[in-house]
Structure 1
Amino acid sequence: MSYRKELRVAELAVQRAALLTQRVFHEKAKGTLSKDDKSPVTIGDFGAQALIIHAIRRSFPTDEIVGEEEASSLRENKALADQIWRLVNSTKLEDEAAEEQVGGPIKSQREMLQAIDEGQSPGGSRGRIWALDPIDGTMGFLRGGQYAVCLALIVDGHIKVGVLACPNLPVDDSTPLSADVANDSGEGRGVLFSAVLGSGATSRSLSRGALEKSQSIHMKDVPNITHAIFCESVEAGHSSHSDQADIAKKLGITRQSVRMDSQAKYGSIARGAGDLYLRLPVRADYEEKIWDHAAGDLIVREAGGHVTDVEGRRLDFSLGRTLKENKGVIAAPKAVHEHVLDAVRSVLDSK
């Protein structure tokens, strides 16, 4: 299958959701709740999830969806639900044909809440399942740094389509990854990354209407690993900074790592702005969520990279809502991945 329709709906739905998140930030309409895991939830999360699930439901009504959010807290907080509804109802693509492809407006607050709640699929190895993270990197979003709107289609356990909107990444693919790029927003920013299995990866500027022209992206050659730029999570609770520093030292990398939130790390290395992405486990019992990696995994692989866990195994998206058989993530160009993996194993085995 070409997955042409799936790709177009995903790109436009993610683009529309990204517009909503930008409005939330710039209008300073951020409101937070607390989930059971104490992580922050913004109105952008709920609104973006509603818009994307609405688009999927209109085009692919029998597909399942694994989404991060559910709407019970909104049903208990009418003022917040009203605020989200106003944003959802007024966020539209400026191109009529594009807006029609994502299902047009959500007609009522009730329909909005139902859409949010339709992301509760258990996942698994059979059928068509969309993995959705409406705002990946919520802390980055709240800081005005990097975050991503993420969507991937998994068919019979294998990722077929991946889309990432990174509203605060520079449009120019050649902009090197640095601390300034990782932490700031500004003019000339907003990128939509896409990939279809077997068809390569692309980037394009985010727009407010129809999709902009895309260009192919490729991971950069790393002839000298000591010059590599590697990126990692900002939060120490997400990835072991100390282990990653030891790995960089073992590889001879002297340049400071670039810390940034979200799957923007996957997009950054896929287009050659960075080289390596390391996410090492901080707890033996921690299970990564599939929505945190599915789109980025495919985009990096289609750009010429390799993505595995710390044991060298491909990430397995067929086991439910988590990557329960994988520990950590190593993403790198194919030519150097084994070298990086050897360094990771050496450091972890020495502990």
Structure 2
Amino acid sequence: MTTIYARELEIAQLAVQRAAILTKRVFREKAKGTVSKDDASPVTIGDFGAQALIISALRHNFPHDDIVAEEEASALREDAKLRGMIWGLVRETKLEDVAAEGLLGRGVRDEADLLDVLDRGKSAGGRVGRVWTIDPIDGTKGFLRGGQYAIALGLLEDGDVKVGVLGCPNLPVDDEAPLDVGIGENQTDEEGRGVIFSAVVGEGAWSRPLGTGALQEGKKIRMKDIADMANASFCESVEAGHSNQSEAAQIAQKLGITKPSVRMDSQAKYGSIARGAGDIYLRLPTSKTYQEKIWDHAAGDLIVREAGGQVTDTKGQRLDFGAGRTLASNSGVIAAPAGVHSQVLKAVQDVLGL
């Protein structure tokens, strides 16, 4: 599939796949559709466990790379019960294929090592060197409600995204399956769900079924050309606090889009439009001071661009992943097929008064 970053891509996909096995087990055994927010919540357990598995794989294969990750270990240092619970899950979670599991290294050795592994994600990021970005469960509430969430992993070199991988356990495997308004909830435990999206800069974007062993065969994906904007669909966040939904509705009306928006959590939105299941992704600012986190966008940004799309902020600027742990120089996100991105951007700017 790739030559320049072949090893990075293979390890990233296997690490994401193994982390997905853990998150699915956590949901089945501990969430069951609840929205518990206590310290031992399914999200807490799944976040820490998935991040530990991914970082341990990166540590083994790329020991000198920096890592920017969402979680850090201070809470676990004070909670022995929770720490032991997460360590047990991490220890038991393995890929079924021995050769694939072997590529990921020794894993996490004990509880003390678990803490050290998690704290490797404290890098400040920046414009120099290789930095991996990790969101172990992107789409917290989507995960809890049995809707859409993603395990997101990206590799930056000197501030630019070079490799992006998204594991989306609850999306349809079928790239042709159109998005519907109910995709944001009750999507678990059915055949034909679970997909890995991936991309390497300059080499295109791919999807493959999310498995439990060696990587399954993938196929190239492309965004869908939009001949008639009236037939286009756009994705946005479920939570009104994540994106201004009233302004999004005005933008859709201005563009002539007649379909209702598809609301779903996580970077599953990026993967969905990259393969043509949807067309446009809008994340509009809800605050002048809020800064997006780089782990929430790095993988999806590359996957969409390599699938023939364009991703900018509301000012028309590329997302700047070299500014640190946040997209400090950007405001909002617009992702669309390259052929109509300028039209969507103009509608966004007209409605926002930019």
Deviation at 1:76, TM superposition (A): 1.1
Give deviations 1:295-336, integer Å, cap 9, x for gaps: 000000000000000010000001100000100000000000
Alignment partner, residue 114 of structure 1: 116
d(CA) in 1 for partners of 2:42 and 2:242?
15
SS in 1 for 2:183: helix
Deviation at 1:34, TM superposition (A): 6.1
Q: In the alignment, is the contact (CA less than 8 A) between 2:30 and 2:42 conserved in 1?
A: no
d(CA) in 2 for partners of 1:217 and 1:95?
26
Q: In the alignment, is the contact (CA less than 8 A) between 1:17 and 1:48 conserved in 2?
A: yes
Counterpart among 292, 296, 306 of residue 310 in structure 2? 306
Deviation at 1:113, TM superposition (A): 1.4
Counterpart among 186, 198, 208 of residue 204 in structure 1? 208
d(CA) in 2 for partners of 1:32 and 1:44?
13
Deviation at 1:33, TM superposition (A): 4.5
Deviation at 1:41, TM superposition (A): 4.3
Unpaired stretches in structure 2, ≥5 consecutive residues: none
d(CA) in 2 for partners of 1:34 and 1:158?
35
How many matched pairs? Answer: 347
Deviation at 1:40, TM superposition (A): 8.9
Closer, same or farther: CA 239–149 of 1 in aligned 2, 3 Å: same
Closer, same or farther: CA 259–279 of 1 in aligned 2, 3 Å: same
Q: In the alignment, is the contact (CA less than 8 A) between 1:217 and 1:271 conserved in 2?
A: yes
Counterpart among 274, 277, 287 of residue 273 in structure 1? 277
Alignment partner, residue 153 of structure 2: 151
d(CA) in 1 for partners of 2:225 and 2:106?
43
Give deviations 1:232-267, integer Å, cap 9, x for gaps: 001111100011010001011121100000000000
Alignment partner, residue 351 of structure 2: 347
d(CA) in 2 for partners of 1:104 and 1:40?
25
Q: In the alignment, is the contact (CA less than 8 A) between 2:31 and 2:42 conserved in 1?
A: no
Unpaired stretches in structure 1, ≥5 consecutive residues: none
SS in 1 for 2:291: coil
Counterpart among 218, 225, 233 of residue 221 in structure 1? 225
**TM-score for the superposition, normalised by structure 1:** 0.96
Closer, same or farther: CA 325–34 of 1 in aligned 2, 3 Å: farther
Closer, same or farther: CA 314–126 of 1 in aligned 2, 3 Å: same
State how 1:36-47 maps to structure 2 within 5 Å: 41-47=43-49
Alignment partner, residue 137 of structure 2: 135
Q: In the alignment, is the contact (CA less than 8 A) between 1:129 and 1:154 conserved in 2?
A: yes
Percent of matched pairs sharing the same residue? 63
Q: In the alignment, is the contact (CA less than 8 A) between 1:179 and 1:259 conserved in 2?
A: yes
SS in 2 for 1:145: coil
Counterpart among 93, 103, 115 of residue 105 in structure 2? 103
d(CA) in 1 for partners of 2:14 and 2:129?
23
Deviation at 1:82, TM superposition (A): 1.0
d(CA) in 2 for partners of 1:229 and 1:199?
27
Amino acid at match of 1:267: G
Amino acid at match of 1:323: L
d(CA) in 2 for partners of 1:346 and 1:183?
33
Deviation at 1:144, TM superposition (A): 0.5
**TM-score for the superposition, normalised by structure 2:** 0.95
Closer, same or farther: CA 73–127 of 1 in aligned 2, 3 Å: same
Amino acid at match of 1:50: A
Moved over 3 A (4+): 29-35
d(CA) in 1 for partners of 2:86 and 2:219?
34
